[in-house]
Amino acid sequence: MQTRLTFFCELDGPGLKKLFENRFVYDDLKALEAAVALGVLDLSDERADVVRKLNRLGIPVKAWLLLPKEQGYWFNLQNHKQAAQRYEAFKEWTETKKLKWSGVGLDIEPDINEMREAFSFKAKVLRKVFQRFGNKKKAEEAVLAYKKLAVTIRDDGYFLEAYHFPLIVDDRLAGSTALQRLGGLVDIPVDQEVLMLYSSFYRPIGHNILWSYADEAQAIGIGSTGGGVEIWGEKEPAPLSWEELSADLRLAWQSGKPVYLFSLEGCVEKQYLPKLITFDWNKAITAPKTAFVDQSRKVLAGFLWLLQRPFIALAGLAGLIGVIATFRSGKKSEKRSKE
């Protein structure tokens, strides 16, 4: 094994208990020298029991903090107060249950309820998006709150990670917060940022997107092999086949970045773990072409730059209208002089 894998695991208490009743899961994780980013969906005894077992076996486990679905599930601009409260409850639970974590992960994504509304084509989600986009002050307050939370987590001695959609990179490069305000995302300083480059979400150009962002990623998240919460309903993306996953793994390895794989439960169900133990990481793979994706990102960056600076866009539009008006006026004058 030439690189350390981290497996995301997102199961409720009973599902988690059942998964880790299989001793071969522990054996495979040990053989892979892998870590687990465990979704903290609740602060239950069942979850604590699994963490203690992983601790005893020397398998690194990271706390992937999550909220109840009615609070948005993932961390975003709207729920920073609940996020801070969740971390405090997590600390108390960790101390009471005597748990050890190799790090803490903040999953930065839009409100799960808004995402479901968007994929159900409910018009009311647009009102929420535009209200949030126009409220820069509220966004700045949320960012400050998350920065304070990040400082607290690091002061408590934890290695801090953030899990982001790749578009956060384009927003950042454009010197913009427009995309963040539209999606309710937040850009905070962490020790390591994992870009969720799940090729199953972006078929048929998933590998192209992965490779386009690979150089700018600190760590690469790949997947999905199944599991997780449902957003699209009946249109949920199909899990990765072994061939698709193999390509993602080799591309991520070629980038030289840490690899995060979603999900552990999906890999167990599809019996991918034993295959990963004997996986040939160095097998040659042709890098995907990224010209189309790269160009699309440049266009997006330009659009985000203008959204962040609407007065410049309006001034440019006014100037263009002025040029057109002057040109048309000149044409009319020329026509009258000829007559």
Please indicate, yes or no, if residue 292 is contained in any of the structural domains: no
pLDDT at res. 66: 98
pTM check: above 0.85 = yes
In a domain, 40, yes or no: yes
In a domain, 315, yes or no: no
303 within some domain: no
pLDDT score recorded for residue 124:
84
pLDDT for position 127: 87
Query: What was the pLDDT predicted at 322?
Result: 42
In a domain, 98, yes or no: yes
User: Would you state the pLDDT for residue 326?
Assistant: 45
User: Which residues of the chain fall below pLDDT 70?
Assistant: 1-3, 234, 310-339
pLDDT given for residue 121 in this prediction: 78
Whether 311 is covered by a domain: the verdict is no
Q: Is residue 79 part of a domain?
A: yes
pLDDT score, position 232: 72
Number of structural domains found in the chain = 1
Predicted confidence at residue 120, as pLDDT, reads: 79
In a domain, 302, yes or no: no
Which residue range(s) make up the domain with 177?
5-287
Q: Nearest CA to 105 among 35, 178, 222, 190? A: 190
Q: What is the pLDDT, as a whole number, of residue 105?
A: 98
Domain CATH for 110: 3.20.20.80
